[in-house]
Amino acid sequence: MKLPEPYTYFVDRSLGRHELVDRLRGAGLSVEAHDDHFAPNTTDSEWLRAAGKNGWVVLTKDKAIRRNVLERVALLDAQVACFMLGRGDLSAGQMAEAFLVAVPRMQRVLRRYDLPLAASVTEAGRVTVLLAEGVILEKPRHIK
């Protein structure tokens, strides 16, 4: 199953509340912020389920989602598309720029692969698909 367009991006709490969200919205993207829907201590599995139910594309810097078994199971069960920054030490402006540059590639991924899926996003906006259709890829796919 693929997500219908236009896409709505869900910004995880780990990315902040204001600058990144405002920059993405300013670029014309439909964006939902974590704190507009959930308490700060909401578990990842809970908001991932909600993101899947709402058809939101998850943006995060929480790499534990792809490494932690419980969170990966939640991602798979929720049938979400998740794009994770490869570096967690970027400023809000740098994170926003990385995602904005990556949007065309992320949209290609969303059109090409069935859910659930997970991909990494570099600081330069490059996108690499790590998990597609619920399967971890033996050879990650770099999207041009």
As a whole number of angstroms, the distance between CA 5 and CA 24 comes to: 17
pLDDT for residue 54: 96
Question: Of residues 78 and 62, which shows the higher confidence score?
Answer: 78
- Over the chain, what is the mean pLDDT? 91
Beta-carbon contacts of residue 19 (< 8 Å; ≥ 6 apart): 92, 93, 96
Between residues 29 and 63, the one the model is more confident about: 29
16-30 pLDDT, tens digit each: 878 999 999 999 999
- Is the model's pLDDT at 70 over the cut of 80? no
Please check the confidence at residue 45 and state whether its pLDDT lies above 90: no
Residue 139: count other Cβ atoms within 10 Å of its Cβ: 6
pLDDT of residue 63: 66
Mapping DSSP onto H, E and C, the string for 13-58 reads HHHCCCHHHHHHHHCCCEEEEHHHCCCCCCCHHHHHHHHHHHCEEE
Q: Which of 132, 121, 105 is nearest to 20 (CA)?
A: 121
Model confidence at 14, pLDDT cuts 50, 70, 90, reads: confident
How does 24-47 read in b/e, with b if 16+ C-beta sit within 10 Å? beeeebebbbbeeeeeeeeebbeb
Neighbouring-strand partners of residue 11: 33, 59
- pLDDT tens-digit profile of 97-108? 999 999 999 999
Give the confidence band of 72 by pLDDT, cuts at 50, 70, 90: confident
State yes or no: pLDDT of 71 exceeds 80: no
What strands lie across the sheet with 8-11, from one edge to the other?
30-33, 8-11, 56-60, 81-85, 117-121, 127-132, 135-143
